[in-house]
Structures are given as C-alpha cells and as structure tokens.
Amino acid sequence: MNSIITAQDLCLWYGQSQALKNINIQIPERSITALIGPSGCGKSTFLKTLNRMNDLINGVRITGTVEYNGTDIFSQDVNQLRKEVGMVFQKPNPFPMSIYDNVAYGPRTHGIRNKAQLDEIVERSLRDAAIWDEVKDRLKKNALGLSGGQQQRLCIARALAVQPKVLLMDEPTSALDPISTLKIEELATNLKETYTIVIVTHNMQQALRISDRTAFFLLGELVEYGDTEQIFSQPADKRTEDYVTGRFG
C-alpha cells in the first residue's frame, strides 16, 4: 500500500517542553491507523500536527518533516491542506446553526453556491456518515438539538462534505454511549474504503476492533508501530506489552 502521510524525525515543543520526540511513521492510504498510549503522551499533538492545527498555538516549534502525498505540509497552503486532511474532535462541536448549514458550511466556504449542488453534497455526506435517515426530515432544525452521538456523526458528515482524503479523529467516541460508539466504529470501518483514517483512542478494544495499524506513543515517543494484530499479540517492546495488556496507563 502507498503511504499518504510520512513523518520524519518530527519533534515538537510547546515553549520549553518537548511533546514529540523524533517521530518516524508512514501511514498507509485507505486504512485505519490507531494511535494509542497513556494520557499526555502526545497523541493529540501528533494528530494536530498533521492538519497544522498546532499553528494556532503560541510558542509551538516544530522540526523534522511531515509529507502529505509527497509534499511538505509546512510549505503548502494551510487551508488547502486542511480541506484534504479533515478533523473530527473529541467533543462533538456542531456549529449553532441548522443541520443543513453545518454540512454545507465547508462546501460554501470553498465557493460552492449552487443550491442543487449543495443539496446533493449535504445528502451524500449525511448518508456517508450514517445519519441521513435520522435527520432528513429536520434538516432546517438547529444541530444543537441532536443527541451527542448524532452530533458526532453530523460532525463527521460536515468533515466529509469538503471531500477530504484523510480524516483525523481525536477520541471521537470518548464522550459517547456504547451504542453511538458502535455506530461510529462501523462508520469508520466503512469509510476506510474511500478515506484514510487516523484515530486516537483510549480504548484498546476499539483499536483492536477497527484499526489495521497501531502506533503506541509513550512520553512523546513513538515506541512501536505495526500491524494491529501483531502489536496486540506479539509486541516487540516490553513497554508496549505492558500497556496493551493493561499493566499500566
């Protein structure tokens, strides 16, 4: 498989404290890569580096390279990069607007004005995010009226509407009930036909259920990265073993 994202010797500092240490990783296209590890070990930081959301934080310094599709992400247009590398946040964060306007926000931002075309994108995105049937009769209603699980799927639909290639998900189910969690996991599994998914999760079972590759982070380092089954059954590193068997973290 081709790798769509490649990081080399990636280091990141928040002011004086180093949050990422020499990360080297190749993320394959159309697959699910899970990032696991204890809290504060740099998973979110790494994820936010990939769509340059860290740019917004004062005092962040980055060395090393990250390539998306063979080009350096730091020398390309950040808005174009974020259009192709979408993000779903830990806490569902729909805009305080109608369901329709939420999904149409991205396409409108990128210049699509035609009503019929927008209608089509909205429907397709909501279908892809497996929420169309639940909201098709209330597209004009405020999105904040949806349940947490529905809001998160709406956020996925909103991200899909700009037709990204990569979807970054930061613990997308940590605020959700088990049934909503299951729906999102199913959804992620279906989406990997078309998209590359990088997902941070605290839930070992979730990583095992849905991901193809798993990366184990510890204290800002990438300790081990490989096929999910192998990471969970025969980890090469003692620290990985301790973590996945629940002996710490």
Partner 1 sequence: MKKSSKLFEGFVHGIFLVLGLVTIACVLIITVYLVASGIPGIVEIGLTDFLFGDEWASTAAEPKYGILPFILTSIYGTLGAIIIGVPIGVLTAVYLAKIAPSSVKNVMGQMVSILAGIPSVVYGLVGMMVLVPGLRKLFDIPDGASLLAAIIVLAVMILPSIIKMSVTALEAVPQEYEDASLALGATAEETYFRVSLPAAKSGVAASVVLGVGRAIGEAMAVMMVAGNAPNMPDSLFQSVRFLTTAVASEMSYSSGLQRQALFSIALVLFVFIMLINALLNFFLKGEKKE
Ligand X SMILES: Nc1ncnc2c1ncn2[C@@H]1O[C@H](COP(=O)(O)OP(=O)(O)O)[C@@H](O)[C@H]1O
Give 9 or 55: the residue with its C-beta nearer to partner 1: 55
Q: What is the chain's length?
A: 249
Spatial distance between the Cα atoms of 80 and 78, rounded to a whole number of angstroms? 5
- By CB under 5 A, residue 214 contacts Mg ion: no
- By CB under 6 A, residue 145 contacts ligand X: no
Give 44 or 151: the residue with its C-beta nearer to Mg ion: 44
Give 18 or 98: the residue with its C-beta nearer to partner 1: 98
Spatial distance between the Cα atoms of 150 and 153, rounded to a whole number of angstroms? 5
- By CB under 5 A, residue 51 contacts Mg ion: no
Give 37 or 149: the residue with its C-beta nearer to ligand X: 37
Question: Which member of 11, 60, 62, 97 binds partner 1 (CB under 8 A)?
Answer: 97
Cα-Cα-Cα-Cα dihedral sign, residues 218, 159, 86, 15:
negative
Residue 164 contacts residue 85 (beta carbons within 8 Å):
yes
Rg (CA), the chain: 18
Give 21 or 83: the residue with its C-beta nearer to ligand X: 21
* CA distance readout (Å), 204 to 134, 173, 200, 217: 30, 13, 11, 13
With helix as H, strand as E and coil as C, how does 79-117 read?
Answer: HHHHHHEEEECCCCCCCCCEHHHHHHHHHHHCCCCCHHH
- By CB under 8 A, residue 159 contacts partner 1: yes
Question: Which residues 35-94 are close enough to bind ligand X by CB under 6 A?
Answer: 37, 39-45, 57
Question: Which member of 31, 33, 44, 49 binds Mg ion (CB under 5 A)?
Answer: 44
Report the interface residues with Mg ion, using CB under 5 A: 44
Name the residues that contact partner 1, by CB under 8 A.
Answer: 51, 53, 56, 79-83, 86-87, 89, 91, 93-97, 105-106, 109-110, 144, 155, 158-159, 162
Q: Which residues bind ligand X (CB under 6 A)?
A: 14, 19, 37, 39-45, 57
